[in-house]
Structure 1
């Protein structure tokens, strides 16, 4: 297969290589990072070398645990496409192929060199062949696939099933020349509410906003404190956080890279009232796109809405630093609608060669799992309300 045009390189045959351990991933680190830079964005942060290698370092390698399966396509010694997957489960029981990172990975995608866009179909065929050559898997599960992405196109080519529809909420920042212009463009009621929240929170101490990077001493302890805040929020609101509760999750997050000069990688937006941390947001910068990965706040200050105050300050910081998008990720919610001006549709795709895979995809992923999650959250909320009511009755009895 030959290719040459006015803008792209000469290419011979497309060759596939599958990486099945961290050492193999490390061996192509420079090629992987170079491919990312050529692609720039496209909702592909969770396919970056930094994310995938760090996740593999913390969560793969144990007996019976997930194993990397990174499909790569090369042309003339140049890496032109990459699909980070992992194998999990047990052959003969339920053997899965899924996005590397599992529940921690918010978007499933592939990276394809834009210089090779006209070879997208043969590249997709090579990647799919690598998937099916992996062996007798029961189900290939790809969650959070953006509409119009290279992976969505490839899944349509593979005639895979769509089991769940979702959406991500995004705020396009390109229309604001400055943070002041953004604030001035808000509605009168929005500005009033945001000023009221700031003033209310400031009663607890002067507001201070800063952005921390992984090479700063305060980064790791602040991130661990944010995880504690987030876990308390889950408890107080009766929600589930399976990825958050996974052992080693905090160590994984603190091991991520970030760079202030290039505005890339992990960073923490920190809002303080005096010396007290009121809210923290962990985000990822990649190709001018900011992924709002985890927000947390001091529950004891919840009536002052510290999280919303921090979000506004983060958005203003992003605008003033030339970032194009503030991405609130999947699962629509009322508060996300008030912070976004566009959405991206997401799909969950499954490929199910076996009856076990079909049962898992249709019975568990599409039906039982969402219902169980809703039921557990409703039960947890009712139990929390019952506990609160019981405490209130106890106080009345004690005071009587």
Structure 2
């Protein structure tokens, strides 16, 4: 099982710092495929995002992106990191009536000699989906899927973190294999609210208040950058101390992509909610917002306050702030756990999907389906055994 444990992580962050040599530069050169019979046009290479940017933005402005993780800004930031790693952006665009109705952005990487397409932005993005004009017919989404699954370009698809209500979900349920099922807890803020805070939140608030007055600040964009860097540093140290793997936190290239998103000024925004005890930051939440939805991306706590569970108070106060500032939904993302469920009554199913399109892809997709099981076993091990297991796996 250890042999597949880090199959995914190794492939996602492998040598992102390497320079692009002449041979690789040739592979990354952009090209455009002719529209097929179903109406899909494929753009591939270093300039693929720029080639579809106008269509992408138009579709995003028309409500085509289900979450901020499908925004053009997120794609631009991610594509830069993919290219540094030698991965190739590949974007399928389907038109109907002369306008774009579906955009399916993927990226091609090589795992053990097998060409695999993932959602562009993976592992940064926390929900994977296609951009679709509202009301788009299923056949148009299928056309984009089949263009992405072209056996002349890849051996397999590995599409992660797909919500049950994602635009592409019905097509994946029909054509691919679902695995690694989980849930993403969320709270509809506009709905009826509990009259009293959970007991754990009240207890944490009482203990923290004894150390000084509590205050929540929420900043957006460039103004959030200092706290963003503090939060990432704390999260990185927490993961390292427990020897827990992460494909994003601890990878300087993906962290730089998050930092870059702080500069974006549009509907999709990076936010930092920080709980202060007196003037000292105690808990951080890095979040992305789009429209009236808040997506809690990364949480971190300061060591000096950790024993008092400041994260519980920060989440409760952030939910209250969202309610006061016109947000309709607070999304805690997958994976679900007891702490997240203590705030939320509802949860959306989330799954990964694999689809082999050539013989070489079958063995890899089988191994990929084992990876979540192996990771779950690792997380449950005591820290000393985790270190031993990671050492055996070469980490």
Q: Shorter-chain TM-score category?
A: 0.7 to 0.9
Q: State the distance in 2 between where 1:80 and 1:234 align.
A: 41
Partner of 2:244: 239
Which residue does the alignment assign to 2:278?
274
1:300 deviates by 2.5
**For residue 308 of structure 1, what is the aligned residue in structure 2?**
312
Out of 361, 372, 375, which is 2:374 matched to? 372
- The correspondence of residues 226-375 of structure 1 with structure 2, limited to 5 A, is 226-257=231-262, 264-362=268-366, 364-367=367-370, 369-375=371-377
The 8 Å contact of residues 84 and 99 in structure 1, kept in 2 or not, is answered as yes
Match for residue 76 of structure 2 among 42, 45, 53: 53
Relative to 1, partners in 2 of residues 1:280 and 1:373: Cα closer, same or farther, differing over 3 Å?
same
- Alpha-carbon distance between aligned partners in 1 of 2:49 and 2:262, rounded to the nearest angstrom: 17
Provide the TM-score with structure 2 as the length reference.
0.81
Q: Distance between the aligned counterparts of 2:363 and 2:264, measured in 1?
A: 44
Q: Which runs of 5+ in 1 are unaligned?
A: 1-12, 177-181, 387-400
Alpha-carbon distance in structure 2 between the residues aligned to 1:29 and 1:20: 13
Q: Provide, for residues 336-370 of structure 1, a one-character-per-residue CA deviation record: whole Å limited to 9, x for no partner.
A: 110111111122211112333221222x2222x23
How far apart are residue 191 of structure 1 and its match? 5.0
Q: What residue is the counterpart of 1:98 in the other structure?
A: 118
1:33 and 2:57 matched: yes
1:209 aligned residue (213, 216, 223) = 216
Q: Distance in 2 between matches of 1:245 and 1:199?
A: 33
Mapped partners of 1:149, 1:28: distance in 2: 22
User: How much has 1:203 moved relative to structure 2?
Assistant: 3.1
**Shift in Å at residue 204 of structure 1?**
3.0
Paired with 1:296 and 1:150, the residues of 2 have a C-alpha distance of: 32
Alpha-carbon contact 1:83-1:110 (below 8 Å) kept: yes
Establish whether residue 151 from structure 1 lines up as the match of residue 164 from structure 2: no
CA distance in 2, matches of 1:334, 1:328: 12
Name the larger-Rg structure.
1
Matched, 1:81 2:86: no
Q: TM-score scaled by structure 1?
A: 0.80
- Asked if the contact 1:41–1:286 (Cα under 8 Å) also holds between the matched residues in 2, the reply is no
Q: Is the 8 A contact 2:158 2:353 kept in 1?
A: yes
- Residue matched to 2:5: none
Match in the other structure for 1:17: 41
SS in 2 for 1:293: strand
> How far apart are 1:294 and its partner, in Å?
0.4
Corresponding residue SS for 2:342? helix
Residue 75 of structure 1 and its aligned partner are, at CA, apart by 3.0
Cα offsets for 1:139-187 (capped at 9, x unmatched): 1011111113221111234x212232121111111215xxxxx4xx244
Deviations 1:255-307 (A, max 9, x none): 115778x7642111111112211111011111322111101111221121111
Cα separation, 2, equivalents of 1:96 and 1:280: 35
| Secondary structure at the counterpart of residue 252 of structure 2 | coil
Structure 2: gaps spanning 5 or more residues: 1-36, 389-395
Instruction: Give the superposition deviation at 1:28.
Output: 3.8
Aligned residues: 352
The structural deviation recorded for 1:82 is: 0.9
CA 1:360–1:315: 2 relative to 1, 3 Å: same
Would the aligned equivalents of 1:239 and 1:380 in 2 still touch at CA under 8 Å?
Answer: no
Q: Give me the CA root mean square deviation.
A: 2.7
How much does 1:236 deviate?
4.1
Q: Kindly indicate whether the alpha-carbon contact (under 8 Å) linking 1:40 and 1:287 is maintained by their aligned counterparts in 2.
A: no
Aligned equivalent of 1:107, options 127, 130, 134:
127
Residue 48 of structure 2 contacts residue 90 of structure 2 at CA under 8 Å; is this kept in 1? no
- Alpha-carbon shift at residue 316 of structure 1 (Å): 0.6
Q: What CA distance in whole angstroms lies between the structure 1 residues aligned with 2:207 and 2:268?
A: 33
Do 1:163 and 1:361's aligned partners in 2 also have CA atoms closer than 8 Å?
no
